[in-house]
Structures are given as C-alpha cells and as structure tokens.
Chains A and B, each alone.
Chain A
C-alpha cells in the first residue's frame, strides 16, 4: 500500500469515481479504494466477494446482481451489507476496480 502512495500513481476515474481502466487495478489499489469507502481492512470474506465480482464481470460483462452474489459467492445478504455497509454491490464493484453495476436488482 505504501508503495502505491509513494509512487504517486494517479488513477483515472469515471463519473462515479470508479476506475476508468480495469487494467490499473491491483490488490494494493483495492486496499486504497477500500479505505476511500471507509473499509479499513479487507478480510478474507471481502476478498471472496471482490474476486467473485471480478470473475463474473470478466465472464458476463457486468457485475452480478445481489441475488446472484448471495446465491453463488457463499456470502448471504446480511453479511454482504455488514462487509460493505451502505450499498454492497456498488462498493464491492468499486473496490474490485469495476464500473458501477448496471442492473436494478
């Protein structure tokens, strides 16, 4: 994390302040993005969600719905809201370096 700040990398952002270039993402960048969202430390459970979102995005071109996320990642809705308070889909997508999910559900 220190290294990222020291190198003084400027990350291009889109209108929702998500990463503009998916290729800019790295696990270190994820930690920085998480801090911006008020998540001090990314646990194993956070990573489970983040990795699942990245996998889904690369396969399907959009982040998964909360329903798919809870059914297939093994993290239920309650825990999801506890891990990423105030909007898990949006926040997890941002930390995963993806654009804001387009779906309504």
Chain B
C-alpha cells in the first residue's frame, strides 16, 4: 500500500469566493482525515483573513468562460456579460446559497472552525508589506505573518498545495 499523506501545506493566493473556498475545504478535509494542515494566505488570498474583507468576498464573473446561469449546467454566460453591473453580486448570492445548503460555513466561521481543528494559519509577509497591512488588520485566527523562508521551514515533510 502507498504511504498515506501525513501533512499538507495549502497556499491560498486568490481573493475571490471561488478562489478561497477550495483551499479551506481541503484544509478542513485534511484535518478530518487526521492529516496535519497549515494554511498560508498570500497576495489577494489574504482577503480571506482580513477583518474588513473576509465577509465580503465575491465570485469573479469577469473573464470566466465557465460561468453559467442559472446553474452550473445552464447555458454559458457570454463573457462580456460578466462585466455588467450587479453580475458579481448576483453570482455571489447564488453560490453562497448553494454553499450553505451543503452545510459549508461562511468564510469567517470556516476560518474559526479550521483553526479550532488545529490547523495553523499564516499570512505572507511580502504581501502584508506590499499592501501596507499589519497583524491587527487580520482576524484573530492568523497565528503569524511569516516570510516564504519560514513557510518552507514550517512545511518540512509536508505536501505543498498551491491554489
């Protein structure tokens, strides 16, 4: 039998709703399987742990040819329509409703839950400096702001997953 996965380090680099959730679901899923997990938020992914942004993440409708209405199997939405006012708001509402149906918590509650499972949560120092942020801008679950070097140190023996 193949050796089972013991530890994962998941990088979340995007700040849209559909960019953030996969990493969170994978981190939570890892802990559910008894796998050690670390979450590292970088670039716009940091919005998922930023106090002022984390409750307002939106689905990116511009430049997304996979976008369909009213459901995933509906007709494709012409890409230019994704730029219409209110499109992102509409798509975000739809997705949040479906997410809730699956009993997946909103981002803030999910981050709290994942942290409670013992997953460590870090912000990327280069991005924090670039965006002129500091530790107080983040939700309390962020354990530390670390450099990429520290990230690799903490990921020793882990599989690194970039999302």
Contacts and interface: CB of A to CB of B under 8 A. Distances in A.
Interface of A: 65-68, 70, 76-78, 81, 85-90, 103-105
Pairs of residues from A and B, 5 with the lowest C-beta to C-beta distance, nearest first:
A86-B34, A77-B116, A87-B34, A65-B103, A78-B116
A67 B103 contact: yes
Contacts, number: 42
Contact of B33 (A77, A87, A103): A87
Contacts of B113: 66-67, 70, 77
Interface in B80-120: 102-105, 113, 116-118
B28 interface: yes
Contact of B103 (A68, A86, A88): A68
Interface of B: 25, 28-29, 31-34, 102-105, 113, 116-118
A85 B117 CA distance: 10
Nearest to A88: B32
Given A77-B116, A81-B117, A90-B34, A67 B105 contact: yes
Nearest to B26: A104
Contacts of A66: 28, 32, 113, 117
A103 B34 contact: no
Contacts of B117: 66, 77, 81
Contacts of B105: 67
A68 B117 CA distance: 15
Given A78-B116, A87-B31, 5 more contacts: A66-B28, A77-B117, A87-B32, A105-B28, A105-B103
